[in-house]
Structure 1
Amino acid sequence: MTAAASARILVVDDEESIRTLLAFPLRRDGHEVVTAADGAEALEQFDRTKPDLVLLDVMLPGVDGFEICRQLRGRSTVPIIMLSARGEEGDRVTGLEAGADDYVTKPFSVRELRSRVKAALRRAAMPAAVTAETPPVQIGEIVIDPDRRRVTVGGDEVELTNLEFELLTTLAYAPGRVFTRDMLLERAWGGSAYRERRTVDVHVLHLREKIERDPKNPEYVITVRGLGYRFRDADD
C-alpha cells in the first residue's frame, strides 16, 4: 500500500449510527471499511481482514478500547487511532500508553478525521525522516536499517511501531540537532494540527523503554529542557 492507495480500515464503535458516520467519508475517499461493535468482534475482524488502520472507540461494552488497543498492539504495528468523548489528559495519555498512534476527542469534524487517517496511512507507507535508499547507520549499540525497517540494540532486534521508528530515524539521522515537539509532530505525525505536544512525550517514553539500557537515564534520546529532544552526538 502506498500513501495514496486505498486502504482497509477497521472501525470499532458500539453505536451503529457512529459506525455509519465514520464509514461514509472513508468510503468516499476510496477506502474499504469493515466494522465491529465490541472488542471481541474487533479482534475477530482484525485477524480475519488484516486492516491497514484501526479506528477504535474507548467506550465499548465489556472490554474497553484501551485493553483492545493493548491486545492489537501486542500482535501488530498497524496504526491505531482512538476515539473518545473523554478528552481529559489522563485518558489521552492512557490511550497513547496503550499503544495508540493518535487520540481524537469527540466531537470532531470530518475534516479532522480525514486528516488524521491520511497522515497515519502515509506514515505507515513510508517513514518521514528517511527513505528505503538511506544507508544503515550505527550509533553506539543501535543499528538502524531503513531499507528493512529494522532496528537492533546490542545485536538484538527490537520491534518498533511506525511512529517509534519515525521518531528514532528523525532524531538519529540528525545527531545533536534539537527538535521541538512541534517539529517532531510535523515529521512523524504529518502535522501539528489537532494534536497536543504531550503526544510526543508519551511516544518518546515508549521508544526509550525499547532502546535504552536505563530509560530513566537515557543515553540516546536526550531531553532538552524547555525545547524538545535530540539524539546523542559524538560529544556526548
Structure 2
Amino acid sequence: MHTILLVEDDMKIATLLKELLERYDFRVVVEDGRGDVVAVFEETNPDVILLDVNLPKFDGFYWCRQLRMKTRAPILFISARVGEMDQVMALEYGADDYIVKPFQGAVVIAKIKSQIRRAYGTLSNETDERTVTKEGVTLYLDRYIVEYGEQSIELSKKEGLILEMLLTASPRIVSRGDLLERIWDDEAFVDENTLNVNITRVRKRLAEIGVAGLETVRGVGYKLVLEP
C-alpha cells in the first residue's frame, strides 16, 4: 500500500480527497499546512506528496523546495490557482505535475498512479546508481549531484535534467526544442525566457566547481565542451 501525504488547509477538500484516495487503497496522511510539513514528511515517509499552493504558514512553493531537498518522491500540486506562472513555478521548484481545482477524481488517481509507476517501477529497482560521466565530470542521475575533482554540488531537478542532456550529448549541440520537450513535455507551455534562466543557473552552478564550457549556439541551442 502506497502512502500519500496530502497538504491541504481546506478540510472539506482534504476530506474529499482522502476518501477518494482511500477508495483506491492508498494510505493518506493529512497535514493542514499550519505545522512543519517537512517534519510530517520525515515521520510518515510517504511515496507521493500532494500540495496545495495557498497554505496558512508558508505557501506550497516553499514546502516543495524544502521537500525536494529531502526526497525524490513525486510531488504533485493540486490548486485553484490557474495562472501559467503558478504552474511554471511549481515545476521550477521541483514538482512533477500540477492539477487544477476543481479536479476530476479519475484524473487525480491517474496522475498519481502514473507518477508512482515512474518513481517506483522497474528502473527504480536497479542496485547501481545511474551516472553520466564525461571528462571527469560525473552527474548522479538519481540525486542530481554533480562532481568534478574533489568538489560536488546538488542541482535542482530542472538543472539536473538539463545537465544530463548536455553531458550525454557533449560536445554535440542540444537544440532548444529538444530541451523544452524533454524537460517540460510541452514546448508551448513554457515561456522562452524560462529556458534561458535555467541555462544561466546551470552555467553558474558548474562554475562553482570549476567546470566551464557551457556554450550558447545562437539560434540553435547549447553545447557543453569540456577540456580533456
> Same fold, TM exceeding 0.5?
yes
Indicate how the Cα distance of structure 1 residues 124 and 63 shifts in structure 2: closer, same or farther if over 3 A, else same.
Answer: same
In the aligned structure 2, how far is the partner of 1:135 from the partner of 1:75? 19
Q: TM-score, normalised by structure 2?
A: 0.69
Partner of 1:201: 195
Partner of 1:108: 103
For 1:220, give the aligned amino acid.
Answer: L
**Once structures 1 and 2 are overlaid, which stretch shifts more, 71-80 or 162-171?**
162-171
Indicate how the Cα distance of structure 1 residues 17 and 222 shifts in structure 2: closer, same or farther if over 3 A, else same.
Answer: farther
Measured against aligned partners, the alpha-carbon deviations of 1:119-169 in whole angstroms (never above 9, x if no partner) come to 4334434798xx777975433452135588753134323224556544433
How far 1:186 moved relative to its partner? 6.5
Partner of 1:144: 139
For 2:189, give the aligned amino acid.
Answer: E
Asked if structure 1 preserves the Cα contact closer than 8 Å seen for 2:133 and 2:167, the reply is no
Partner of 2:224: 232
Q: Could you tell me which of 67, 71, 80 is aligned with 2:62?
A: 67
SS of equivalent to 2:169: coil
Indicate how the Cα distance of structure 1 residues 210 and 101 shifts in structure 2: closer, same or farther if over 3 A, else same.
Answer: farther
Matches within 5 A, 1:145-160: 145=140, 151-160=146-155
Q: What stretches of structure 2 of length at least 5 have no aligned partner?
A: none
Indicate how the Cα distance of structure 1 residues 56 and 166 shifts in structure 2: closer, same or farther if over 3 A, else same.
Answer: same
In the aligned structure 2, how far is the partner of 1:203 from the partner of 1:111? 35
Partner of 1:3: none
For 2:42, give the aligned amino acid.
Answer: D
In the aligned structure 2, how far is the partner of 1:123 from the partner of 1:198? 26
How far 1:12 moved relative to its partner? 0.8
For 1:37, give the aligned amino acid.
Answer: D
Indicate how the Cα distance of structure 1 residues 14 and 139 shifts in structure 2: closer, same or farther if over 3 A, else same.
Answer: same
Please tell me the root mean square deviation across aligned C-alpha atoms, in Å.
Answer: 4.2
Partner of 2:30: 35
Matches within 5 A, 1:88-127: 88-125=83-120
In the aligned structure 2, how far is the partner of 1:127 from the partner of 1:172? 24
Equivalences, count: 220
SS of equivalent to 2:152: strand
Indicate how the Cα distance of structure 1 residues 69 and 119 shifts in structure 2: closer, same or farther if over 3 A, else same.
Answer: same
State whether structure 2 residue 175 is matched by structure 1 residue 220: no
SS of equivalent to 1:212: helix
Partner of 2:8: 13
Structure number having the greater helix percentage: 2
Asked if structure 1 preserves the Cα contact closer than 8 Å seen for 2:81 and 2:100, the reply is yes
Indicate how the Cα distance of structure 1 residues 213 and 156 shifts in structure 2: closer, same or farther if over 3 A, else same.
Answer: same
For 2:134, give the aligned amino acid.
Answer: I
In the aligned structure 1, how far is the partner of 2:122 from the partner of 2:175? 17
**Once structures 1 and 2 are overlaid, which stretch shifts more, 164-173 or 83-92?**
164-173
For 2:46, give the aligned amino acid.
Answer: P
For 2:54, give the aligned amino acid.
Answer: M
SS of equivalent to 1:82: strand
**Once structures 1 and 2 are overlaid, which stretch shifts more, 199-208 or 21-30?**
199-208
- Identity rate of aligned residues, in percent? 32
Measured against aligned partners, the alpha-carbon deviations of 1:61-119 in whole angstroms (never above 9, x if no partner) come to 23222222233234444332222212223333433444433333323333433343234
Q: TM-score, normalised by structure 1?
A: 0.67
